[in-house]
Every structure is written in C-alpha cells, then in structure tokens.
Amino acid sequence: MGLSLPTVAHGEPSFLTSKLDFLVNWARMNSLWPMPFGTACCAIEMMATAASKYDQARFGMERMSFSPRQADVLICAGRVAYKMAPVLRKIWDQMPQPKWSISMGACASSGGVFDAYSMVQGIDTIIPVDIYVPGCPPRPEGLLYGLLLLQEKIRGESLANPALRAEDPARTGKPNLGPEVIEEVAGPFGNSTKQNRVSGLVSTTALTRPNDRKP
Amino acid sequence: MAERTFEEGVAGLERGSGGPPLDDGAPRGEAADAASHPSVAAMRERFGAGILHHAVMAGDEHVVYVGPAVVVEVLAWLKDDAAQRYDFLADLTAVDYGGGRPLEVVYQLWSIEHKRALRLKVPLPLDALVIDSVTSLWHAADWLEREVFDLFGIHFRGHPDLRRILMPENYAEGHPLRKDFPLRGRFSRAEQTRRALATPAEEFYTPEELRIGDDETVRPPSPVVIEHAAPPNRVDAPTTRVPGGPTQTEDWSLGTEGSAAGGAPGPSGVKE
C-alpha cells in the first residue's frame, strides 16, 4: 500500500490502522477467488470442493477464477513437472497483490512419491506457499480446512506491515528458494520433513502457531 | 504356491510354456513355430536371411526379429502385401534390457482386414543407435518415433521433425528411459529447478500460436536461444550414481550401461 498510515510506535498499530486492518482483512478473506491450477487427481477433489455438496462458495470463494489477473489464491492441485514449472511461476507472477497460494496434496507439497528426474520436489521451490494441505489426494474437507486456515492467516495480516505484500520485480520468473535450500528440501523425503524450515515456523502443530489462529 | 526364483519365473517366458491352453487348435507355446503364423512363414520365404529370429512370447504373441537394414522394406511389404495387410501401426516403442545388451525397437502391428497381430523387433547395438524412419508408411509413427528418440536416444533417419516431445527442449541430462539413467536425473535439484524456470515461454508454443493476435503483421518468431551445454556445478558425480556407466560428461547424451566404449558417438548429420 502506498499509504503512510499513522502508527503509535514501531510495530504497534494505532486505533485507526487496527480498525482499517479489520475491515480490509474482512473483505479480503471473505471474497477469495481461487485460481485453480489442477494438474492431477487432486484437481478432482478440488472440483468436488467447488461443487454443490461441499460448496466452497459458502466461504466466499464464489467462483473459480480461470484467469490469474482476477484471482486471489492459487490452488496448486497435483504434481508439477519441471516442464510445467515455468507455467506455474508465470501464473503466480501474473496474479496481482494481494495473493496467496495453497499447495494441495502430497505431490504439490513435496513431490510425493514422484522422487524422479522429471518432478518438482514441492512447489515452494517455485512459488511462495501459504498453506500446505496434506493428503493423497486430500478430501474436500481437507481443502476446505486449508482455505479456512488461509482465512485465519489473512485475518492476522496488517496493512502497517508493507513487507507482507511487497514484491520484488527482479524475482519474477526466478525460483522461490535458493539453491542450497532447494538441495536440502529436495533430498529423499526432504520436503516432507523440512517444511517447518521453509515456512519459517518452529512447528506445524496448529496449537503452537498463534499467528495462524487468531480468535 | 512355492517360491520361485527369478530365473525360474522368466524361464518359460520366451517359449510361452506357462500360458493356459487355448481351444482354437493352433499350436501354442513350445509347439508353436513359424508355421503357426502365416505371416511369419511368408516373411521367411520372402526375406530369407533378413529375418533374424522368431519367438513366441506369452502364449501366442509372435515376435519376429529383423535387422535394422531391412526394416522399412519388411514393414512396407507387411503393410501393402495383399495376404498380409498390416495396415495399423498399433505402437512403436523401444526397450532397454540393460547390461550392455542391444536396445530393441518394437513395432506392434495389427491387420484390420485379417484380424492378426504381429510384433517386429529390431535389435540395435549400443554403438549404432540409428534406424530408418517409418513415417513414410504410417504418419502415426511421427510422434512415436520422437518419443523413442526423446527417451532412448535412438535416431530415426528420414524423420521429418526429430526433436524432443516429452522432455523440455533444453533438457541436457540425456535420455531418461535408458537403464543407465539415474532415477533423480543427472543434475542437482537446484540446477534442474534453475533450468526449468529459465525455459522461455515461447518454447511451449508453436510459431503459429505465438502469432495469434498479430492480425495482419506476420513476423518471424523471435529466435529462442536454447542452452544445451552441461553445467559444471552438478552435485552428484555420474560415477557415484552409475556404476559401470559412462564417466565422461559428454557421453551422457548417448551413453548406455555396460557399453565398452562408455557411450556411443552421435551419428553425423542427425539433428540433435
């Protein structure tokens, strides 16, 4: 945001910004439009999530946005081959801020069983990821839970933190992680056990992630 | 069921002795010979020494081994001769049995008219992975031969557009379905990621598709610089992953397990 908002002290939001945060986050989290990036069987479950029985429109994901320019959250459902990696990165770069991403399923999160020459070992090596949904494939409840977790994450964001939505144009089309980190997370069983490190969290247990779960 | 060793399990596979007896009266398994398939007998009569070997696999799959020099001649005859008429190329693929054995190109034929199947195999020694293209007979062979070239490194002489079809155009790690190809590829993951994201978007489209929206102005597509050189900063040396495989990095593109020369030289005049 280009606004210079009044703050009481460093890192401490004022009455005005906290109320503005509440309003903006309320609007953002309840009108998330997903950009489906379905490459495999996870996409079937994603379609089921959008269909009538589970109906993600209940939570504000009113429609799947098949255009990255009009999307807020990228749902990468399925395995991503190295040949597909520049496409995924380009779609992510085309999405305007504010944007979030969900890595759905074992293959998107860690490469899954495809520890092979052709497969990206976790899309967080390509794009930043906000929510990892485990499962092979996850049930629609799993994806819905991921979307609800994302809503709670958005609720904790603040406009007073410009770094949150900052984007470096020089990073366009570049890997999301450095070479050493990619090597580390892409080892055998790497990305499935190293995601705490990637996301900067100490633990993935929901109870010990206070920033993700604000009442 | 008693445990069988691997050798016992595959022992009867070539003869087809393990299959259940069928009731059409035709000789099966060990009893089957060239005479039980009319096309095999006719091929032996016509081409003589050009037919290397005949085997019956899995009960009633007749496999004819042909030398690479006569393959187009044999296939053209099988396709056009009135008594054969194998007009449908069901599949064209290749097999690498490893251990320095020759790669085998497989042609699976089906005669719609006579309702007969026939499989041709062409063994190719590792130091001469070149075979004539059959795109002049079946247009369906176009992409199948590109796939075999992409994944096995077998060059097809006379193919109209021999380039990679599944792997990216700038893929420089070799041919992934070879037995000597390491499971996770030859480059490090970081290098694979870097190369993947360095692929220009133009490579995913044909020049015709890129011109969409340019209305009247038909401009030539911008030249795409494809990086083919192997980068030096790989993490895993090939010698640690490929025991007995090629040790020279320049041999990757055509190297195969167990070959004495450590890889085959690329045939001249073939578009890489």
DSSP letter, residue A81: B
Burial bucket for residue A49 (CB in 10 Å: 0-12, 13-18, 19+): buried
Q: Does domain A7-208 have CATH number 3.40.1360.10?
A: no
Enumerate the domain spans of chain A.
7-208
What pLDDT, on a 0 to 100 scale, did the predictor assign at position B15? 52
Confidence label for B173 from pLDDT (cuts 50, 70 and 90): confident
B91-120 pLDDT, tens per residue? Answer: 999 999 888 888 999 999 998 888 888 999
Burial bucket for residue B163 (CB in 10 Å: 0-12, 13-18, 19+): exposed
Question: What is the distance between the alpha carbons of residues B125 and B50, in angstroms, rounded to a whole number?
Answer: 17
Beta-carbon separation of A180 and B184 below 8 A: no
Per CB-CB distance under 8 Å, the chain B contacts of A126 are 193, 197
Confidence label for A122 from pLDDT (cuts 50, 70 and 90): confident
Interface residues of chain A, partner chain B, Cβ below 8 Å: 82-83, 85-87, 89-90, 115-118, 120-121, 125-126, 173-175, 178-180, 182-183, 186
Confidence label for B198 from pLDDT (cuts 50, 70 and 90): confident
Cis amide bond preceding A98, omega within 30: yes
- Distance from the Cα of A209 to chain B's closest Cα (Å) equals 30
Beta-carbon separation of B197 and A117 below 8 A: no
> Is the pLDDT higher at B218 or at A118?
A118
DSSP letter, residue B166: S
Total number of residues shown for chain B = 272
What domains can you pick out in chain B, each with its CATH number?
29-157 (3.30.460.80), 189-235 (no CATH)
Are the C-beta atoms of residues B86 and B92 closer than 8 Å to each other? no
Q: Scanning every residue of chain A, which has its alpha carbon at the shortest distance from the alpha carbon of B173?
A: A117
What pLDDT, on a 0 to 100 scale, did the predictor assign at position B248? 42
Q: What mean pLDDT comes out for the span B46-50?
A: 81
Q: Which residue has the tokens 């020759």?
A: B102
Confidence label for B206 from pLDDT (cuts 50, 70 and 90): low
When CB atoms are compared, the residue of A116, A180, A186 closest to B183 is A116
When CB atoms are compared, the residue of A82, A90, A174 closest to B201 is A90
pTM for this predicted structure: 0.71
Q: What mean pLDDT comes out for the span A90-111?
A: 89
Per CB-CB distance under 8 Å, the chain B contacts of A173 are 197
Can you read off the two tokens belonging to residue A68?
A: 């990255």
Q: Does B189 touch chain A (CB under 8 A)?
A: yes
B139-171 pLDDT, tens per residue? Answer: 999 999 999 999 999 999 988 888 888 888 788
> Is the pLDDT higher at B30 or at A67?
A67
- Distance from the Cα of B264 to chain A's closest Cα (Å) equals 22
Can you read off the two tokens belonging to residue B39?
A: 């096309």
What pLDDT, on a 0 to 100 scale, did the predictor assign at position A45? 93
Q: Does B185 touch chain A (CB under 8 A)?
A: yes
Are the C-beta atoms of residues B137 and B149 closer than 8 Å to each other? no
Q: Does B199 touch chain A (CB under 8 A)?
A: yes
Within 10 Å of residue B119's Cβ, how many Cβ atoms?
17
What pLDDT, on a 0 to 100 scale, did the predictor assign at position B34? 52
Are the C-beta atoms of residues A46 and A104 closer than 8 Å to each other? yes
Can you read off the two tokens belonging to residue A174?
A: 């570049």
Q: Which amino acid is at B67?
A: G
Are the C-beta atoms of residues A173 and A41 closer than 8 Å to each other? no
Give the side-chain half-sphere CA count within 13 A for B162: 22
- B216 pLDDT more than 70: no
- Which of A84, A92, A94, A117 to probe the B interface (max B CBs under 10 A)? A117
Are the C-beta atoms of residues B44 and B34 closer than 8 Å to each other? yes
Beta-carbon separation of B196 and A87 below 8 A: no
Question: What is the distance between the alpha carbons of residues B128 and A25, in angstroms, rounded to a whole number?
Answer: 65
Question: What is the distance between the alpha carbons of residues B35 and A26, in angstroms, rounded to a whole number?
Answer: 80
- A98 pLDDT more than 60: yes
Can you read off the two tokens belonging to residue A49?
A: 């999530």
Q: What mean pLDDT comes out for the span A141-155?
A: 90
Beta-carbon separation of A87 and B183 below 8 A: no
Beta-carbon separation of B197 and A182 below 8 A: no
In the three-class reduction of DSSP (H, G, I as helix; E, B as strand; rest coil), residue A22 is classed as helix
What pLDDT, on a 0 to 100 scale, did the predictor assign at position A103? 92
Q: What mean pLDDT comes out for the span A199-206?
A: 50
Q: Does B168 touch chain A (CB under 8 A)?
A: yes
What pLDDT, on a 0 to 100 scale, did the predictor assign at position B108? 93
Burial bucket for residue B77 (CB in 10 Å: 0-12, 13-18, 19+): middle
Q: Output phi, psi for B134, to 5 deg.
A: -110, 20
Sign of the dihedral through C-alpha A61, A66, A68, A69? negative
Chain centroid offset of residue A165 CA: 13
- B35 pLDDT more than 80: no
Question: What is the distance between the alpha carbons of residues B211 and B215, in angstroms, rounded to a whole number?
Answer: 8
Question: What is the distance between the alpha carbons of residues B172 and B165, in angstroms, rounded to a whole number?
Answer: 14
- Distance from the Cα of B241 to chain A's closest Cα (Å) equals 13
Q: Does B204 touch chain A (CB under 8 A)?
A: yes
Average pLDDT, chain A: 80
Are the C-beta atoms of residues B174 and B186 closer than 8 Å to each other? yes
- Which of B175, B184, B204 to probe the A interface (max A CBs under 10 A)? B184
What pLDDT, on a 0 to 100 scale, did the predictor assign at position B93? 93
A157-176 pLDDT, tens per residue? Answer: 887 777 888 888 888 888 88
When CB atoms are compared, the residue of B185, B191, B199 closest to A117 is B185
Q: Which amino acid is at A20?
A: L
Angle between helices A85-94 and B189-197 (to 10 degrees): 60
DSSP H helices, chain A, are 15-29, 42-50, 85-94, 105-110, 140-155, 179-185, 190-193, 195-199
In the three-class reduction of DSSP (H, G, I as helix; E, B as strand; rest coil), residue B93 is classed as strand
Confidence label for B30 from pLDDT (cuts 50, 70 and 90): very low
Beta-carbon separation of B194 and A85 below 8 A: no
Across A101-105, A126-130, A188-192, B35-39, least confident range: A188-192
A174's CB contacts (< 8 A; 6+ apart) are A89, B197
Q: Express as a percent the part of chain A with pLDDT over 70.
A: 80
What pLDDT, on a 0 to 100 scale, did the predictor assign at position B223? 52
What pLDDT, on a 0 to 100 scale, did the predictor assign at position A138? 92
- B78 pLDDT more than 70: yes
Q: What mean pLDDT comes out for the span B218-237?
A: 48
Q: Which of A143, A1, A164 is nearest to A64 (CA)?
A: A143
Q: Scanning every residue of chain A, which has its alpha carbon at the shortest distance from the alpha carbon of B186?
A: A117
Q: Which of B272, B259, B266, B268 is nearest to B96 (CA)?
A: B259
Q: Does B170 touch chain A (CB under 8 A)?
A: no
Q: Scanning every residue of chain A, which has its alpha carbon at the shortest distance from the alpha carbon of B165?
A: A83
